[in-house]
Amino acid sequence: MIVATQLDQQCVNTIRFLSVDMVQKANSGHPGLPLGAAPMAYVLWTRWLRYNPKNPHWFNRDRFVLSAGHGSALLYSLLHLTGYDLSLDDIKQFRQWGSKAPGHPERGHTPGVETTTGPLGQGFGNAVGMAIAEAQLAACYNRPGHALIDHHTFAIVSDGDLMEGVSSEAASLAGHLKLGKLTCLYDDNYVTLSAGTDISFTENRALRFEAYGWHTISVADGNDVEAIDAALAAAYAETARPSLILVRTHIGFGSPEQDSFKAHGSALGVDDVRKTKQTLGWPTEPDFLIPDEALAHFREAVVRGAQDEAAWNDRMSAYTKAFPDMAEELRYRLRDELPSGWDTDIPVFDADAKGLATRDASGKVMNAIAPKLHALTGGSADLDPSTKTALKGMGDFNPPLLKNADKQGSDSAGWSYAGRNLHFGVREHAMGAIVNGLAAHGGFIPYGSTFLIFSDYMRPSIRLAALMGLHVVHVFTHDSIAVGEDGPTHQPVEQLAGLRAIPDLIVIRPGDANETAVAWRVALETPNRPVLLVLTRQALPTLDRSRYAAADGLRRGAYVLSDAQNGKPDLILIASGSEVALVVAAQQKLLAEKIQVRIVSMPSWELFDAQPLEYCNAVLPPAVGARLAVEAGVSQGWHRYVGSRGDVLAVDRFGASAPGALVMREYGFTVDTVCARAKALLVG
């Protein structure tokens, strides 16, 4: 082993034992990763990473992602030592109620934590998203002599991260995109939670990443700080490919359980903590020891960070003088604000019995907004001809200077990182993690898109977007059994219920083109929650809003679209999306039979649940117990709105392959069935 300077060694051990003591005090956590990965973290955070501990939001900072979030103690040690607002007392409360140092890193909870990690592989995808964000902003805003946006993205990733499919998807795309400012340090310790990697993970990781188009560097000894430093220098120098630095480490380094999975995920125990300290030449007392020289060295980050930020602020001033309009636009984006007039071109759709699919309405709305709202950037998992999410004339995000020969059949001359259409390929899960990375980076309202059925492939990322409160939008089309011929594999049934079950997520299933336009407004105006738009493939009538209530009612989640003629409903028909037109037709038929019906359009449970009780009771009066909800998805959850005397016309089985209109009919989505089920509620 190459011996580092005494100070280096002392700093590395400070990280190690702060982490070990944190875990030991909590009697919970993961000491193995910090013991092994402390040297790479030390070199990165003291020599390469640019950040300002006193302003974690400084925009041009490098982004750091601890994708192996179980190693949270490592990150908290780094944040405390370098001077973030995370005190020694805070980290002594590791994993306790109300602590600023929770079990896994949580964005928005601990200053300096860029993204929430723990579910393995997600952080890797987030890092790719952050690198895309940097490249896109740089291409759009930098000008000769004004390298305003110019930073790197680093991640520490583990075996588990690289085993998860999402990281393979994201790595493949990152290689294709030639994201030269992305560097992943791989904690290559040959051990996972339950065993050695020899039982399940034996491919040549370096060759795998090279095949993806990455630059790889191996560091044979994870304690060799100069080798790590040299590897980082090489990664910096490589600007045309992302870099993977494979650092051979030892889990639980120095402890009696070194190189065993037993060092992975539980406190070492008092005896083994003592032995580990003795082995590595560290005083056994006191706990949470931070030598003055080590602290002083780490805290140089505060001065460095202030200087870096000040220099950048000067650059921003010069940029503002030279390019005032672009600077103004960028400032809006960095504050996640909508520029004034962003919505003036949103179309109003005329009443039309034939109507259009809500996916088509969505595409028109997006394209009306995109020219004024530059933050709106995203794409689909190879489905934009179907999901209608392409932003026309906004260019494709792809590496510049790609040879025509590399791409078949189309002209690559216009490729650039300035493009706003992201092509995720058939990689839904990575799409979910990448848009989270774009949102966490800042400067974007990113969107992803696929068929609703394939939202299942990206559920973990959607859940994390909700947990983090990220401003992302997903456009999920082909939203029911009405998809038709493609059959039950492509017909979502339980997906709506599953997505509605995720806290802090807003799911909107608009009923016509004008509701779709309002849904987009809600999605863009809601800065701290992900919003999912659930849209049809088939055409829906565009309601005559002079006859029916204004589509703006969507903002409240549910609204009275059409009331009983006499103002005293015998029953209420509630529907979302494509079933709204169906209940509107049923209302006419029931009226002919002198049954007074109220129609409630209910595109979003979450928005409705957030309304005051008086409003909810005004829309769904408790006195009217005869309520039928109609939705082409599972009934689960609807009973909350129809009550004990109500009923739900739903799809509680898988769909079937046949023309969509026929499948809908066979599954009971007809005016006659709606009327029969509704009338049954009036009996007795």
Ligand X SMILES: Cc1ncc(C[n+]2csc(CCOP(=O)(O)OP(=O)(O)O)c2C)c(N)n1
Interface segment toward ligand X; rule CB under 6 A; list 158-166, 309-317, 347-355, 422-430: 158-166
- Looking at the DSSP bridge assignments, the partners of residue 474 are 448, 532
- Name the residue nearer to ligand X (CB basis): 141 or 253: 253
DSSP string of 444-480, one letter each residue: -EEEEEEEGGGGGGGHHHHHHHHHHT---EEEEES-S
- Name the residue nearer to ligand X (CB basis): 502 or 519: 502
- Name the residue nearer to ligand X (CB basis): 61 or 250: 250
Interface segment toward ligand X; rule CB under 6 A; list 171-179, 184-192, 238-246, 582-590: 184-192
Given 29, 125, 160, 222, the residue binding ligand X (CB under 6 A): 160
- Name the residue nearer to ligand X (CB basis): 129 or 160: 160
CB 157 within 8 A of CB 187: yes
SS (H, E, C) 4-51: CCHHHHHHHHHHHHHHHHHHHHHCCCCCHHHHHHHHHHHHHHHHHCCC
As measured in angstroms, the least distance from the Cβ of 251 to ligand X is 5
Distance CA 675, CA 516 (A): 27
Residue in this structure with the two tokens 């974007």, named with its chain if needed? 444
SS3 504: coil
Residues within window 92-131 making contact with ligand X, judged by CB under 6 A: 118-120
- The distance between the two most distant Cα atoms of the chain, rounded to a whole number of Å, is 91
Q: Which two tokens stand for residue 356?
A: 């259009």
As measured in angstroms, the least distance from the Cβ of 159 to ligand X is 3
Residues within window 248-307 making contact with ligand X, judged by CB under 6 A: 251, 264
CB 129 within 8 A of CB 434: yes
As measured in angstroms, the least distance from the Cβ of 459 to ligand X is 12
Distance CA 193, CA 98 (A): 27
Interface segment toward ligand X; rule CB under 6 A; list 137-145, 152-160, 413-421, 666-674: 152-160
CB 444 within 8 A of CB 377: yes
- Name the residue nearer to ligand X (CB basis): 52 or 192: 192
Given 159, 224, 606, 647, the residue binding ligand X (CB under 6 A): 159
The burial class, CB within 10 Å (0-12 / 13-18 / 19+), for 111 is middle
Applying CB under 6 A, does 158 fall inside the site for ligand X? yes
Closest by Cα among 185, 142, 175 to 45: 185
As measured in angstroms, the least distance from the Cβ of 161 to ligand X is 6
Total interface residues for ligand X by CB under 6 A: 18
As measured in angstroms, the least distance from the Cβ of 191 to ligand X is 5
Closest chain position to ligand X (CB) = 160
- Name the residue nearer to ligand X (CB basis): 39 or 119: 119
Residues in contact with ligand X, shown as a per-residue x/- string from 192 to 231 under the rule CB under 6 A = xx--------------------------------------
As measured in angstroms, the least distance from the Cβ of 497 to ligand X is 23
Applying CB under 6 A, does 70 fall inside the site for ligand X? yes
Distance CA 365, CA 356 (A): 13
Applying CB under 6 A, does 25 fall inside the site for ligand X? no
- Name the residue nearer to ligand X (CB basis): 191 or 381: 191
As measured in angstroms, the least distance from the Cβ of 276 to ligand X is 16
Given 33, 155, 182, 246, the residue binding ligand X (CB under 6 A): 33
Interface segment toward ligand X; rule CB under 6 A; list 137-145, 154-162, 465-473, 597-605: 154-162
The DSSP symbol for 401 reads T
Interface segment toward ligand X; rule CB under 6 A; list 191-199, 274-282, 470-478, 669-677: 191-199
Distance CA 123, CA 64 (A): 10
As measured in angstroms, the least distance from the Cβ of 37 to ligand X is 8
SS (H, E, C) 626-665: CEEEECCCCCCCCHHHHCCCCEEECCCCCCCCCCHHHHHH
Given 115, 116, 189, 421, the residue binding ligand X (CB under 6 A): 189
Q: What is the radius of gyration, based on Cα positions, of the chain? A: 28
Q: Which residues of 430-455 are buried (b: 16+ CB within 10 A; e: fewer)?
A: bbbbbbbbbbbbbbbbbbbbbbbbbb
Residues within window 49-68 making contact with ligand X, judged by CB under 6 A: 68
Q: In Å, how far are 206, 268, 345, 381, 559 from 549, measured between CA atoms?
A: 60, 64, 22, 36, 8
Residues within window 572-611 making contact with ligand X, judged by CB under 6 A: none
Catalytic residue check, 203: no
Applying CB under 6 A, does 77 fall inside the site for ligand X? no
What's the N-to-C CA distance of the chain in angstroms?
86
Which residue of the set 428, 515, 606, 631 is catalytic? 428
SS3 540: strand
Cα angle 61-62-63, degrees, rounded to a multiple of 5: 110
Applying CB under 6 A, does 32 fall inside the site for ligand X? yes
Given 20, 78, 140, 191, the residue binding ligand X (CB under 6 A): 191
As measured in angstroms, the least distance from the Cβ of 257 to ligand X is 11
Q: By CB under 6 A, name the binding residues for ligand X.
A: 32-33, 68, 70, 118-120, 158-160, 164, 187, 189, 191-193, 251, 264
**Active site (catalytic) residues:** 428
